[in-house]
């Protein structure tokens, strides 16, 4: 399923999408847009002094990519809930893959259909960076 052209069914999988490789510039641009200037994400010496091998991405950057992936498929105006969990850090040069599966489809009393999707953003090698769930209200 590449975009919302019909009501999906439980078990339908959204077509995966890759982002990256993530660059330091991507990380710094996100920091500038969000106002999150924690030096762990852009200052190599600071990150190493804190025990990290290098800088790492702001978790909300990956969460935003995953939300974008879902709304590109089911509609930005249709989203009603987005809940996510940070699972693992992402590093420069990681390629992220977003995927999703429909886990619920429920007709709504006021009209439309609530579609629940479980989402995941994985790093190279399959490690889960972000897991999420979202509800969309789509026309029936």
List, for residues 77-109, the tens digit of each pLDDT value: 999 999 999 999 999 999 999 999 999 999 999
Residue 91 is given by DSSP the state -
pLDDT value of position 43: 97
- Domains along the chain? 13-138 (3.10.129.10)
List, for residues 103-137, the tens digit of each pLDDT value: 999 999 999 999 999 999 999 889 999 999 999 99
* Cα distance between residue 15 and residue 17, in whole Å: 7
pLDDT value of position 1: 43
Query: Burial, 98: exposed, middle or buried (Cβ in 10 Å; 0-12, 13-18, 19+)?
Result: buried
Mean pLDDT (the chain, rounded): 94
pLDDT value of position 32: 95
pLDDT value of position 7: 85
By three-state DSSP, how is residue 125 classified? helix
């Amino acid at each position: 399923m590449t975009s919302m052209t019909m009501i999906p069914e439980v078990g339908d999988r959204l077509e995966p999408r890759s982002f990256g490789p993530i660059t330091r510039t991507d990380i710094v641009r996100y920091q500038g847009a969000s106002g999150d200037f924690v030096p762990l994400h852009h200052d190599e010496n600071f990150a190493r002094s804190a025990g990290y091998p290098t800088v790492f991405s702001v978790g909300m950057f990956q969460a935003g990519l995953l939300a974008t992936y879902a709304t590109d498929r089911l509609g930005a105006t249709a989203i009603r809930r987005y809940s996510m969990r940070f699972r693992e850090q992402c590093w420069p040069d990681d390629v992220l893959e977003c995927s999703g599966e429909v886990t619920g489809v429920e007709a709504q009393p006021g009209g439309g259909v609530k579609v629940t999707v479980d989402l995941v953003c994985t790093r190279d090698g399959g490690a889960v960076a972000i897991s999420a769930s979202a509800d969309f209200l789509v026309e029936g």
